[in-house]
Copies of this chain bind each other. A is one copy, B any other.
């Protein structure tokens, strides 16, 4: 196991979050050229933002394989922009009908449903423009791979597919299997894709890409389980890992998955310390 005892994860996350935010500011500048109020509304949906977990994961995976994280910055931000787009559409009245998001009015509460719908559309489209920024010199085929990875992770076989499954589960009731399938799409696919994108940008070997993929599937699941456990303390009713697997079994699954994730990245050595510390943190925050 990698020894993360000397690694300051919180300082790392803070620094990386600022790095991502700065890049997003550059891609969506306040004084940029926008039509109507679209720039304002897109920025409202992007900033101040949350933990920026997905892009940080992309950058950490690229760095773990020895690449300059800069080569993964556009695709890292593209994954974050897709995440933000999904929140805008998720919050709409025909979906979750939420009034607040991260302590401020949701985009449609602030700007109206029609504008929020279109700003979401504009965000997901711009994410693909970012993904297609050709930052890896002399390797345009890698950029194409990144675009396809983003589409696969976010589209009908990934995140959007998971949202459809979630709606069906809410209507027809959930089983352990359906809960896992919803997670795999709705949250898992984007986390998996974000990690893979970092590895692809770093020109990973097939074996490295496989290890990073499995690592991301595992920590994505742990992320969901521990999120559910934390939420469950507030409100034990919704369909969740604790409600379908029980609290103790959920914690045990999270522990086992984390151990496996740590084993997978051990061969990468010191460069993978952030990935190791991240996996451990996702576990201990609730268990």
Binding site for B on A (CB under 8 A): 33-39, 42, 89, 92-95, 112-115, 117-118, 120-122, 124-126, 128-129, 131-132, 134, 140-141, 143-144, 147-148, 150-152, 154-157, 160-165, 167-168, 185
Contacts and interface: CB of A to CB of B under 8 A. Distances in A.
Contact of A167 (B114, B140, B161): B114
A165 B129 contact: no
Contacts of A150: 128
A92 B126 CA distance: 22
B151 A129 contact: yes
Given A128-B128, A140-B141, A164 B38 contact: yes
Contacts of A42: 156
A121 B35 contact: no
Contact of A95 (B117, B155, B157): B117
Nearest to A108: B94
Tally of this chain's copies: 2
A128 B160 CA distance: 15
Most buried by B among A120, A140, A150: A140
A122 B82 CA distance: 12
A150 B121 CA distance: 13
Given A144-B134, A144-B143, A163-B118, A125 B155 contact: yes
A131 to B, nearest CB: 8
A155 B122 contact: yes
Which 9 A/B pairs are nearest by Cβ-Cβ distance? A35-B161, A94-B113, A129-B151, A125-B155, A122-B156, A140-B140, A36-B164, A132-B147, A140-B141
Contacts of A132: 144, 147-148, 151
